[in-house]
A and B are shown apart, each in its own frame.
Chain A
Amino acid sequence: MSTNTKTIKTSSRPVRTLAILGLVVVAMTALVFVQGATSVRLGLDLRGGTSVTLQPRIAPGDEGKVTSEAIDQAVSIIRQRVNSLGVAESEVAAQGSGTNRQIVISIPGDTGRRVVELVGQTAELRFRQVLASGSGLPAATDAGATPVPGVTAEINAKFAALDCTKPENLQGTGVDAPTDTLVTCDRTGGTKYILAPAEVLGRQISSASAGLDTQAGTAWFVSLEFNNEGTSAFAALTSRVTALPEPTNQVAIVLDGLVVSSPRITEAIPSGNAQITGSFTQLEAQDLANVLKYGALPLAFDRGEIQQVSPTLGADQLNAGLLAGALGLFLVVIFTLLYYRALGFVTVGSLAIAGAILYLLFLLMGEWIGFTLTLAGIAGAIVAIGVTADSFIVYFERVRDEMREGRSLRTAAETGWVRARRTILVADFVSMIAAILLYFFSVGGVKGFAFTLGLTTIIDLIIIFWFTKPALVLVSRSKFFNSGHPLSGFSPKSLGMSAAKEA
């Protein structure tokens, strides 16, 4: 027994490890309350709503490549459209990588059809002469009735009544037929405009960029260049409006029906090279340049997948997921208790703590990175029960093997660990590779499955190192388990050892 004593002396300090894990869980719980994250954010498939996945492509008739910047522009255009619906917690995000990203729009509640129609249209960029402009608020009765010459009374009335502070008026989409006179707002809703029919189109831009005027030092500007068609159209437009009075000497840059910018034309520009100056910050200048670039090569959106889930189905799916989880957990607990007897309680404890940590992480990540739990995510967590329990089995069976070689439980808990640890690390690493690849190579909702699977693999490692192992070491020092009690899971009989050998 002298060698055994030696092993125990060099063994870990189980109580301290357990205490640290306990502190971590308590700290996470405290953090949850500090952050006020008291409920898990549910995905649309669990609470009802519409999700649309769009695949951006070059609009028909154009040639070129989808660029990463163009997708960013498209996301912001679609976000503008979706926000105009005024539904809380709507989300627009790009998913995937590089130029092959999809745009995913999620909107809770019952807006289905409108969203689908709204988001699929190609956003066009056009240049229009400003006929009139004013503050974004509706004019008081007939006070704003300085009729703008050259447009119909109907347009004048529409202009007077327009309220740019209402979200539905910042939708833009679909109202701007190029040949019409347009009444619209700017993107932020601060100003409203009457705009002449479009004279230059976004597709006639050949390039745009933001630059810094080195002489003035801090003055950012945007330069743009037109193709042949665009050069002559822009020359005609600028030479006509430059001599006109305010605001008719302005040209509005209109993207998706809303005014992005309305620079004043200071001179006729026949060369096809224009510069927009003003008190731009670097960011503003780059934004405008990106809008112009996008306009040169607008994207069309293929509707990849549209999913409308009613709140009833959402609730059904949530309940089914929770029920399946409870049932799975119950079965695993019963099995481990039957097979490992009292030792099974270490497993049950491990699963309980793993579950608690997972739940806390769901709460915290909902707050930090907007994690939402989907049905696939729940399935991932349930499957992970098995994966987590597997690690315990690998360890416990290893300990039993060590005992079959004649070691005492105390020693076996340590020597078995050294060997089981390796197996568990290799196996969990393989699971992790699977989860990461699944995450990057899956589309839409099933991503949630990979995410929870990866998360639970990490939790599995934490639990087996910081809970299961120290707990077993602690248990191995107790009399009940050491005496080989029939219910301990370590009796000579259950190990298949003869009594003679034990003695």
Chain B
Amino acid sequence: MSKLSGLGGRLYRGETSVDFIGRRRRWYMVSSVFILISIGALAIQGLQLGIEFKGGSSFTVTTNNPSVTDARAAVEEAGVTGEAIVQKLGANKVRVLTGSLEQAQNNAVQDALAAKFAISVSTIDTQIIGPSWGKEITRKALYGLFGFLFVVMVYLAMALEPKMAVSAIIAVIHDVFITVGIYALVGFDVTPATIIGFLTILGYSLYDTVVVFDKVRENTKSITSTSTKTYSQAVNLAVNQTIVRSANTSIVALLPVASILFVGAGLLGAGTLKDLSLALFIGLIVGTYSSIFIAPPVLAQMREREPAMQALAKRVSARSGGTVVASTVGAVAAINGRGPRNQPKRKGRK
């Protein structure tokens, strides 16, 4: 641990520096590949929607070692004609999923299951979703998503800088694509709890990005009045300075989520806890990635197009082309010392 803390110090002063901004093409490539796979998975396989979206009924029987065959037989006896899915959950649960049924049929399935397993109807956990219900929650979820993106963009533009807001939102949309893609690819069930977990992640991913951008803003406050580093270099320093923080906050956020996932999937088998935490788990990882590898390079690229920043870049390259600039501040000296060494390398990679 203390080794990691020591690394934090070296990263802070720029002695150890990972070139996040210069290697942006590499990160963009990685993300593009993921996004393409996501779109492919969505187009080919689509999302595995839970009954909340399609309408249908779910009956869960909890008893000593229930058999799937018995449950299937009970469903047939109840006269359900459509396809029913029967799953075993853990050691003592069986779940039956059917399409939309009439109320009388729902009752018949409950009665048949109760009779088959010799249990009381009231111990069967039942969830019945009307056929039009899915539209309602889908609509609401979409409103929520767009409302969120819009409000946050306006807020960040005011609290930070407009271009920061745009890059943060680009990173969020990136997260949305990849997370949805993973769901399509693996075939995880999408339920309202998934959607909620997912929307939460958007907030969380932004939290990380905000921490990085706040540092960028601080580092670049009066950058044009100097000619010691370019905007990209300043962003890169900020990312390096905050990376230990990002890693820590992500680990600390992942730990509780992982325990919900572990307990939810392990003890309960399925349901709200598992769906929610799985979405959070995947989203957190993707969100951390994008707040380091996507949002800052996108911001740097947008800002570098500004004439003031291009002029700055020229001044910096003119200066660092010569001898190493003497500086009284250790951190800046370290950066400048690295600058000339880094630049040829970066060019080589492009």
Contact = CB atoms under 8 A, between A and B. Distances in A.
A444 B52 CA distance: 12
B268 A316 contact: yes
B252 A332 contact: yes
Given A312-B123, A430-B152, A386 B196 contact: no
Interface of B: 1-2, 4-10, 12-13, 52, 60, 62, 103, 107, 110, 121-130, 132-133, 136-137, 140-141, 143-144, 147-148, 151-152, 155-156, 159-160, 192-193, 196, 199-200, 202-204, 206-207, 210-211, 214, 218, 241-242, 244-245, 248-249, 251-260, 262-264, 267-268, 271-273, 276-277, 280, 331
23 contacts: A113-B121, A303-B103, A304-B133, A308-B124, A313-B125, A317-B272, A324-B260, A327-B259, A327-B263, A328-B257, A339-B4, A339-B5, A393-B252, A397-B245, A397-B248, A404-B13, A423-B210, A423-B214, A430-B156, A430-B207, A437-B151, A437-B199, A445-B272
Contact of A494 (B5, B151, B192): B5
Contacts of B151: 433, 437
Contacts of B214: 422-423, 426
Given A302-B130, A383-B257, 14 more contacts: A117-B103, A310-B122, A317-B268, A320-B268, A320-B273, A324-B259, A332-B252, A339-B1, A390-B252, A400-B8, A426-B156, A426-B159, A427-B207, A443-B140
Q: Output the residue of A390, A419, A431 with the most chain B CB within 10 A.
A: A390
A387 interface: yes
B192 A446 contact: yes
A306 interface: yes
A393 B272 contact: no
Contact of A496 (B7, B110, B130, B263): B7
Contacts of A125: none
A39 B313 CA distance: 63
A449 B193 CA distance: 9
- Main secondary structure on chain A at its contact with chain B? helix
A13 B240 CA distance: 34
Contact of B143 (A308, A401, A441): A441
Interface in A291-320: 302-310, 312-313, 316-317, 319-320
Interface in A457-503: 486, 491, 493-497
A393 B255 CA distance: 14
Interface string A430-455: 11011101101111111001100100
A309 B127 CA distance: 8
Interface residues of A, number: 84
Contacts of A429: 155, 159
B249 A393 contact: yes
A112 interface: yes
Contacts of B13: 404, 496
A325 B260 CA distance: 7
Contacts of A309: 125
A421 to B, nearest CB: 11
A496 B10 contact: yes
B133 A379 contact: no
A82 B182 CA distance: 44
Contacts of B258: 328, 331
- Main secondary structure on chain B at its contact with chain A? helix
Given A308-B124, A496-B6, A320 B263 contact: yes
Q: Output the residue of A309, A434, A445 with the most chain B CB within 10 A.
A: A434
A350 interface: no
Given A117-B103, A386-B257, A426-B214, A339 B248 contact: yes
B259 A382 contact: yes
Contact of A430 (B7, B141, B203, B260): B203
Interface in A218-235: none
Contact of B210 (A116, A383, A427): A427
A394 B206 CA distance: 14
B148 A433 contact: yes
Contacts of B199: 434, 437-438
B266 to A, nearest CB: 9
A310 B280 CA distance: 28
A385 interface: yes
A389 B249 CA distance: 8
A336 interface: yes
Given A393-B245, A434-B148, A426 B255 contact: no
A496 B1 CA distance: 12
A494 B8 CA distance: 8
B128 A303 contact: yes
A108 interface: no
Given A324-B260, A338-B1, A495-B9, A307 B127 contact: yes
Contacts of A400: 5, 8-9
Contacts of B255: 328, 331-332, 335, 386
A352 interface: no
Given A339-B248, A375-B273, A443-B192, A431 B203 contact: yes
Nearest to A397: B245
Contacts of B263: 320, 323-324, 327
Contacts of A446: 192-193, 196, 272
A497 to B, nearest CB: 6
A310 B13 CA distance: 59
